[in-house]
C-alpha cells in the first residue's frame, strides 16, 4: 500500500485515521503508541524527528502534524471534504489553525485532569481553569454555528473533522458543553459519522 499511517486511536492519530476512512482510502495502519517510547525509536525519529504521532508516509512523502496531514489528504484526494473554492479553502485553513491555537491545549488539559490521568495525578483546578478559558473561543464557534450546521461550507469538510477531533477532548466538562448547545449538537453530529467509528476501531488494533 502506498499510504502508511503511524499511530493509535488513543492519540492525535485518530484524526488521520478518521480522515482516511472518510475519504475511503486504502492504507496500512502501523500501530505506534506514544507511550513507552514507541514514537521515539530510530525508525520513527527518522520519519518525525519530533518524536510524535501521527506520521504518514504517502508513497515516499512523509508528513507529520495531524491537522496538516488532514489538510494535505483533503487537497490530494478532493471530494466533498475538500474546499470547493478559494473562500472555502480560506475557511478550512482559518478554523483548523484556530482550533489548534485557541482550543487544543485547554481541551487536552480538561481531558487529562478529568479522566485521562490516574486519579491521584489529576488536578481539577487545572481542568476548571482550562474550561473557563475555553468559554471565549467556544462562544466564537457557538455564534458561528447559530445559523449553519457545519463550519466551513454547507456540508461536512476537513474543517469540521479537524475541529471536532480537538474539541471532543472538552466533552469531559459537561457544564462547558451545556453552555454551548449549538457547538455540542454539531460535535455530536460529527462524532456520529461512520468514518469516526471506523477510525476508532482501526486504531485499537
Q: What is the mean pLDDT of residues 58-86?
A: 97
Grid cell digits, residue 48:
518525525
Q: Confidence band (pLDDT; 50, 70, 90) for 183?
A: very high
Q: What is the mean pLDDT of residues 27-52?
A: 92
187 and 143 within one domain: yes
Range of the domain at 170: 86-192
Q: What is the mean pLDDT of residues 27-36?
A: 89
The separation between the first and the last C-alpha atoms of the chain, rounded to the nearest angstrom, is 18
Q: How far apart are CA 63 and CA 98, in angstroms?
A: 20
pLDDT digits (tens, 9 = 90+) for 134-144: 999 999 999 99
58 and 100 within one domain: no
Q: How far apart are CA 91 and CA 159, in angstroms?
A: 8
Domains in the chain, number? 2
15 and 47 within one domain: yes
pLDDT at 155 > cutoff 80: yes
112 and 23 within one domain: no
99 and 57 within one domain: no
Q: How many CB atoms lie within 10 A of CB 22?
A: 25
pTM listed for this prediction: 0.94
Angle at 34 between CA 17 and CA 21, to 5 degrees: 5
- Cβ-based burial of 116 (10 A; exposed 0-12, middle 13-18, buried ≥19): middle
Q: Are 164 and 183 in contact (CB under 8 A)?
A: no
Strand, coil or helix: 125: helix
142 and 115 within one domain: yes
66 and 160 within one domain: no
112 and 74 within one domain: no
Residue 160's closest CA among 88, 57, 107? Answer: 88
Residue 75: give its domain's CATH number: 3.40.30.10
17 and 69 within one domain: yes
148 and 60 within one domain: no
Amino acid at each position: 500500500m502506498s499510504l502508511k499511517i503511524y499511530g493509535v486511536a488513543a492519540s492525535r492519530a485518530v484524526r488521520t485515521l478518521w480522515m482516511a476512512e472518510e475519504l475511503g482510502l486504502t492504507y496500512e495502519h502501523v500501530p505506534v503508541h506514544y507511550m513507552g517510547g514507541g514514537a521515539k525509536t530510530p525508525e520513527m525519529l527518522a520519519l518525525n524527528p519530533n518524536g510524535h504521532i501521527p506520521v504518514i508516509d504517502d508513497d515516499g512523502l512523509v508528513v507529520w502534524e495531524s491537522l496538516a496531514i488532514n489538510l494535505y489528504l483533503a487537497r490530494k484526494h478532493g471530494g466533498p471534504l475538500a474546499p470547493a473554492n478559494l473562500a472555502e479553502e480560506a475557511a478550512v485553513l482559518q478554523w483548523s489553525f484556530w482550533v489548534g491555537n485557541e482550543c487544543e491545549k485547554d481541551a487536552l488539559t480538561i481531558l487529562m485532569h478529568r479522566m485521562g490521568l490516574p486519579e491521584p495525578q489529576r488536578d481539577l483546578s487545572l481542568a476548571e481553569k482550562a474550561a473557563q478559558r475555553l468559554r471565549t473561543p467556544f462562544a466564537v464557534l457557538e455564534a458561528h454555528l447559530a445559523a449553519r450546521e457545519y463550519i466551513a461550507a454547507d456540508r461536512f469538510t476537513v474543517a469540521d473533522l479537524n475541529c471536532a477531533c480537538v474539541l471532543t477532548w472538552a466533552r469531559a466538562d459537561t457544564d462547558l458543553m451545556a453552555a454551548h448547545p449549538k457547538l455540542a449538537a454539531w460535535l455530536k453530529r460529527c462524532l456520529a459519522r461512520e468514518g469516526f467509528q471506523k477510525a476508532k476501531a482501526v486504531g485499537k488494533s
